[in-house]
Chain A
Amino acid sequence: KNQVEQSPQSLIILEGKNCTLQCNYTVSPFSNLRWYKQDTGRGPVSLTIMTFSENTKSNGRYTATLDADTKQSSLHITASQLSDSASYICVVSAMYDDMRFGAGTRLTVKP
């Protein structure tokens, strides 16, 4: 069964600190992995996409990594800001376009 597991469920950090969110998946055959940011009461917005051949990709203060062998991805946020408070959702697509969503990590950045 294609599944996506994210950890931790929730995280509280102080403004300016770094953090790393994890995503483990069993989706196969793998096509791509996306990280989305979802602000409270709004729809998710794509941050980055990782395909099989990529193992690191950055988007500003967000850096995603992918280890296709261990089927793990991480999203690292550097120098966090209050506006980073949101849920971060990992979405893994199989070759036949079966998108599977993780439950998300709820990040709270405190001043």
Chain B
Amino acid sequence: DGGITQSPKYLFRKEGQNVTLSCEQNLNHDAMYWYRQDPGQGLRLIYYSQIVNDFQKGDIAEGYSVSREKKESFPLTVTSAQKNPTAFYLCASRQAHGTIQSSYNSPLHFGNGTRLTVT
């Protein structure tokens, strides 16, 4: 079955440590996204990538870094510079095909998230 796999499901880290969240997709999607979800707020975009070896900052990129060396993989590193890293992190992908507008109409496919707790 095609889908997006995020690992691990739960992650615990001490303050001051960097941590990397994994996101792998076998949907052959071009675009991948990282979102952060906090209680009572809408999802906020951290980084996105439309193509291999290219990525763009989202609304809350400070304290985070990403890489896109392969189409299937888009790992997110939460660095010690992120002031409030405890959150639920969601990775998503979307097919970019045909016209730009038709790709905008494609749904996001989400992984099941990683809950990061930093103490």
Interface of B: prevailing SS:
mixed
Chain A residues numbered 88-102 whose CB sits less than 8 Å from any CB in chain B: 89, 91, 93, 95, 97, 99-102
B110 contacts across to A, CB distance below 8 A: 43-45
Cβ of A49 under 8 Å from chain B: yes
Interface residue count on the B side (C-beta < 8 Å):
22
Closest chain A CB from B65 CB (angstroms): 22
B8-35 vs A: 1/0 string, CB under 8 Å?
A: 0000000000000000000000000001
The answer on a CB contact under 8 Å between A93 and B104 is: yes
- In addition to A42-B112, A44-B110, A104-B42, 20 A-B residue pairs with Cβ atoms within 8 Å of each other are A4-B42, A31-B104, A41-B113, A42-B113, A43-B4, A43-B90, A43-B111, A44-B108, A46-B107, A46-B108, A49-B105, A51-B105, A93-B104, A95-B104, A99-B45, A99-B108, A100-B42, A101-B42, A103-B40, A103-B41
